Chains A and B, each alone.
Chain A
Amino acid sequence: MELNELLAIAKQERSQAKPVQIRCCTAAGCLSGNAEGVKHELEAGIKAEGLEKDVEVSGVGCMRLCCQGPLVQVDTPAGSKLYEKVTTQDAFAIIEALDGGKTHISEIDLSQPFFSYQKPIVLENSGKIDPEKIQAYIAAKGYQALYHVLREMTPGEVVESISHSGLRGRGGAGYPTGVKWATVAKAKSDRKFVICNADEGDPGAFMDRSVLESDPHRVLEGMAIAAYAVGANQGYIYVRAEYPVAIRRLQTAIHQAQRLGLLGSQIFESPFDFKIDIRIGAGAYVCGEETALMASIEGKRGLPHPRPPYPAESGLWGHPTLINNVETFANIAPIIRNGADWFASIGTEKSKGTKVFALAGKIRNTGLIEVPMGTSLRQIVEEMGGGVPDGGTAKAVQTGGPSGGCIPASAFDTPVDYESLTNLGSMMGSGGMIVMDDSTNMVDVARFFMEFCMDESCGKCIPCRVGTVQMHGLLTKLMQGKATQADLALLEELCDMVKNTSLCGLGQSAPNPVLSTLRYFRQEYVELIQEYLELIKD
């Protein structure tokens, strides 16, 4: 494959585009609302009406506003309409209204803050292209960055470009991606590996899932660029088994890319070979931790081991390994295409680019958002999210999953970036954002996350295995109104101990939901204790 062939595919794809496009969201959320059925009905309707020449029905990735799914977007030369909660019975009405007529189906206002505040980089193709069609990705400038990298850049220049962009790992910790790539590139070994961590498992988080379901080729392209930069020839995507649609689309994408010579040997007629295989996780949260993930790929029990040595030095089967999150890889192609300076101009001083969040909880608009770093929590929760329904007020927002914490409404003016969230006692995490209203008891929230950590602890190290059970027991005791001041003191002591002595990130961060709720909502803990004191006084 040469560049002109790639451009020819893109040109042909664009020239075949029909004037009217009907796009059905076929990401997991809408699929669960029978989006597949809606798509079939639309296709059948178009056929019955004899409109096939002018109208194309396609399945696309996530269109963001998941709470209103299934979503169907109609693009005509006259303009775009986004229909919400579309049922199979609505298909006929949509077809009838193609000429601009009115329908009974409610439309979504595309100019509301939920959409207008977004800045799609990672999600630029999401909801626009068919994720199961490589031609659609190529028509959206796909694989051009890979060509540019393989034919016109040295691996060192690629690493330099990523470093210069200021991209930081989107898996949560925010480690500078360029530094990680440079470390693996410098490691001396005859074999190196690239791993895409798609084991997203935080409660309320579905960013990586959406990216994989909506635009899988973007991840493959990012991985290939990374592999070239660090000198790897084999890649693995470790994806959880709970994501069957993502797995299927990734498999399709890999086959398509291989058939066109965009993966495999001598990509773009260059000496660079790169193969990607999928490894399906069996559903253990700890396997999102990099050392446990690699043990699982190796076919061993998914247990973490102490670092150092870091994967960059000794990873899969002892070879240097680059491991990045889905969203990190999804940022690579746009950085190469538009330049490091362009990326570095977006976001805040220390956190560049955008971040995808899965907005969920007690909020009007739930779904997927991609906003520039530095957007305030208030803008996200109140303007984009539309606030709490039924006149409630937002009390806190939980970010970063079980490793993160709860941020109180009083801190909603904080700009979202790695440092500010850490300063608030929470973290960026992979991007889950759960809004809680006044009716939420924060001790119960802490207990929920502790239960999750307790269930998902691998059991290898004692502080995490036993500590989470003990902390969960104390939180339950509090909720039952049977705890005393001594129990609270013990809970705090265990938080400190588990945080500082656990083997891996899961245990080290397990106390965070307790610590952050204690920091901002201590009164709720104290009230539960006082209730008990009054009870035994009587």
Chain B
Amino acid sequence: MTVKTLTINGQLVSASEEETLLDAAQAAGIHIPTLCHLEGVGDVGACRLCLVEIAGSVKLQPACVTKVNEGMEVYTNSDRLQKYRRTIVEMLFAEGNHICSVCVANGNCELQDLAIEMGMDHVRLDYHFPNRKVDVSHNRFGIDHNRCVLCTRCVRVCDEIEGAHTWDMAGRGTNSHVITDLSQPWGTSQTCTSCGKCVNACPTGAIFYQGSSVGEMKHHREKLDFLVTAREKQQWNF
């Protein structure tokens, strides 16, 4: 395993060649905002929040899927990047119906955290007010598509960790939405094992435990980490 040295925001950082810029930055205590990234499952580079500037390259690169390279000069927090990130978060707020005051994940939501981090005090874009459905046919869980940010964490966690692949995507563009099995009510799914990993993976209040009221829901992300460590390293304790 070769070790590479690079600079992130002028700070000298070393990382193994297999690591991504996001891994390297996190290890060095440098924060890069993410939304679709989830420890333990594959990255898709879809939310574009972790885009960084690399010296010598015109294009911005997503830190979650870009491997470290010797002598790389990375900037994670320029004014330009901050502006883009704020617009991305604004776009998400404009796309769904994200009303924190009536959301189960209020106070425990990554989209809300991002909005606070970006200093988003208002949305300059037109709200879409989409007519999206709520599916509470499952006896333990529910999904409110209005709060879904289409990060596909649920799809990946169900496929890669649980191995059920109950979740998938359907539609395209602004009509994209997550589905269970062949786009049938979650409660009728033959593949769902009711493991609840999707509930824990969801960054917002889109997938929730039934019966939780506003602001009650807690996400137990450490359970996912625990499972991955258990599977990959055969270590059953934290």
A-side residues, CB < 8 A to B, are 284, 286, 301, 305-306, 454-463, 465-470, 473, 490, 493-494, 497, 500-503
Contact = CB atoms under 8 A, between A and B. Distances in A.
Given A461-B46, A462-B47, 8 more contacts: A459-B172, A460-B176, A461-B45, A465-B173, A465-B176, A466-B95, A502-B48, A503-B45
Contact of B46 (A286, A301, A460, A473): A460
Contact of A454 (B47, B124, B149, B174): B174
A494 B172 CA distance: 21
Nearest to A463: B48
24 contacts: A305-B45, A306-B61, A306-B62, A306-B66, A457-B172, A458-B176, A459-B174, A459-B175, A459-B176, A462-B46, A463-B88, A465-B173, A465-B174, A465-B176, A466-B92, A466-B95, A469-B173, A469-B174, A470-B94, A470-B126, A494-B87, A497-B83, A501-B88, A503-B48
B214 interface: no
Interface string B85-115: 0011001101100000000000000000000
Interface in B189-216: none
3 interchain residue pairs of minimum CB distance = A459-B176, A466-B91, A457-B173
Contacts of A497: 83-84, 87-88
A473 B61 CA distance: 28
A501 B174 contact: no
A459 B36 CA distance: 14
Nearest to B62: A306
A490 B59 CA distance: 22
Given A462-B92, A463-B91, A494-B87, A501 B126 contact: no
Nearest to B149: A462
Contacts of B83: 497
Q: How large is the interface on B (under 10, 10 to 19, 20 to 34, 35 or more residues)?
A: 20 to 34
A457 B91 CA distance: 15
A284 B91 contact: no
B47 A466 contact: no
Contacts of B59: 500
A462 B91 contact: yes
Interface in B166-184: 168-169, 171-176
A493 B150 contact: no
Interface of B: 44-48, 51, 59-62, 65-66, 83-84, 87-88, 91-92, 94-95, 124-126, 128, 149-150, 168-169, 171-176
B22 to A, nearest CB: 13
Contacts of A473: 126
Given A470-B125, A493-B87, A284 B172 contact: yes
A316 B144 CA distance: 36
B168 to A, nearest CB: 8
A473 B171 CA distance: 20
Nearest to B59: A500
Contacts of B175: 459
B94 A466 contact: yes
A66 to B, nearest CB: 31
A456 B51 contact: no
Contacts of B46: 460-462, 503
Residue from the set A286, A461, A467, A493 with the largest chain B CB neighbour count within 10 Å? A461
A306 B84 CA distance: 18
A473 B44 CA distance: 28
Nearest to A286: B172
B126 A306 contact: no
B47 to A, nearest CB: 6
Nearest to B95: A466
B173 A468 contact: yes
A459 B175 CA distance: 8
Given A306-B65, A497-B87, A459 B150 contact: yes
A362 B220 CA distance: 61
A27 B7 CA distance: 58
Nearest to B91: A466
B170 to A, nearest CB: 9
B129 to A, nearest CB: 12
A457 B175 CA distance: 10
Nearest to A464: B173
Contacts of B176: 458-460, 465
Nearest to B83: A497
A473 B173 CA distance: 15
A69 B169 CA distance: 44
A490 B84 contact: no
Contacts of A494: 87
A43 to B, nearest CB: 45
A410 to B, nearest CB: 29
A466 B46 CA distance: 12
A512 to B, nearest CB: 16
A316 to B, nearest CB: 18
B145 to A, nearest CB: 13
B146 to A, nearest CB: 15
A520 B71 CA distance: 42
A456 B87 CA distance: 22
Contact of A301 (B61, B92, B169): B169
Contact of B47 (A301, A455, A456, A461): A461
B60 A500 contact: yes
A465 B91 CA distance: 9
Contacts of A456: 172-173
A102 B200 CA distance: 82
